[in-house]
Amino acid sequence: MNTGSDEPGEVAVASDGNGADGTKADATDGERGLGSRAPEFVKARRVLHLSWQVGIFVIGLAVVAAGIVMLPLPGPGWVVIFGGMAIWATEFVWAQLVLRWTKRKVTEAAQKALDPRVRRRNIILTSIGLVIIGTLVGVYLWKFGLEMPWNIKDQ
């Protein structure tokens, strides 16, 4: 909840006075502030922090690449891709913003799916699709029996 005002469109103000200078983020909606989550001793040394970021990027890239490979192959492709994005989000603001946007969209889709009208529409469309598939399978079995398509001779 906003500590400054409950009016929509107004910016929340942190009750502890931090946040505007970037030292401590305002976590009014339960989200951590943007930026690196590297340990302080890593952030204090520029070369070490750059090495840390490169390592995080390479590890995240490997996980995202594995997820992309899993999309056409068996495996939880999208879950692994978002896992790689979560790894990147520990260090990179752009990945944190992408994950926040994705979380917001997934939540909106889940709320929309719970709408009775949308559920009814989805059930009707699924039923129609199953009837069409059942009809096609029935016609195929009636015409060719249990013969596989590649074994059917010209008739």
Q: Which structural domain range is residue 132 located in?
A: 115-155
Number of domains making up the chain: 3
**152 lies in the same domain as 94:** no
Cα dihedral sign, 118-124-127-128: negative
**43 lies in the same domain as 74:** yes
Please report which confidence band the pLDDT of residue 61 belongs to, taking 50, 70 and 90 as the band edges: very high
Q: Whole-model pTM above 0.85? A: no
Residue 20 reports pLDDT greater than 60: no
Q: How far is 59 from 69, CA to CA, in rounded Å?
A: 15
**52 lies in the same domain as 110:** yes
Mean pLDDT of 27-49: 69
**106 lies in the same domain as 127:** no
Kindly report the backbone phi and psi dihedral angles of residue 27, in degrees, each rounded to the nearest multiple of 5, phi listed first. Answer: -105, 50
Residue 45 reports pLDDT greater than 60: yes
* Residues 79-136: tens digit of each pLDDT: 899 899 999 988 888 888 988 998 899 899 888 888 888 889 989 999 999 999 999 9
Q: How far is 70 from 81, CA to CA, in rounded Å?
A: 9
Helices (H), the chain: 40-43, 46-70, 77-89, 93-113, 116-144
